[in-house]
Amino acid sequence: MALIKCLECEKEISDAARACPNCGYESRKTEDIEPIVQKTELGELEKNIGAGIAMFVVGFVFIPISIVIMPFGLVLLIPAILLMVYGGAKISGTRSAVCPYCKNESVLNSKTSTNFKCSNCKKLSIVKDSFLEIVE
């Protein structure tokens, strides 16, 4: 169910409603109603290539060390992998994002440039240009 604008009073109403609950305007034709496009703007792309490379290299160096001292190396292996992943995110860049459904603030990795799943409401949004738009 989506929200649409009433052509008479321009208030948000359900697309399943036969008449506007605010003014009583009756409209069943799809050309009489226009859907509301809900979208939020993405923040600027933030990169930190130096810190990303440093994290990636440190993580890469710790992987062979952790393998040599197994099974205790598992304690070192997991942070090493996380450092490499986080370093890669710093290199490629991140953007701040606000979910168009629940308005939860989050961070969007620049590699996930087409879809965004909110960690709060678990709904999917589509990245178009520099906006997050609701999937209908």
Mean pLDDT for the chain overall: 82
DSSP state of 35: E
pLDDT tens, residue by residue, 71-102: 888 889 999 999 999 898 888 888 888 888 88
Calculate what percentage of the chain has a pLDDT beyond 90: 18
Residue range 3-14, pLDDT digits in tens: 888 888 888 888
Alpha-carbon span 122 to 1, nearest angstrom? 18
| Closest to 35 (Cα-Cα) out of 20, 19, 13 | 13
Q: Return the bridge partners of 133, or none.
A: 39, 126
Alpha helices per DSSP H over the chain: 49-68, 74-92
CB atoms within 10 A of CB 135: 11
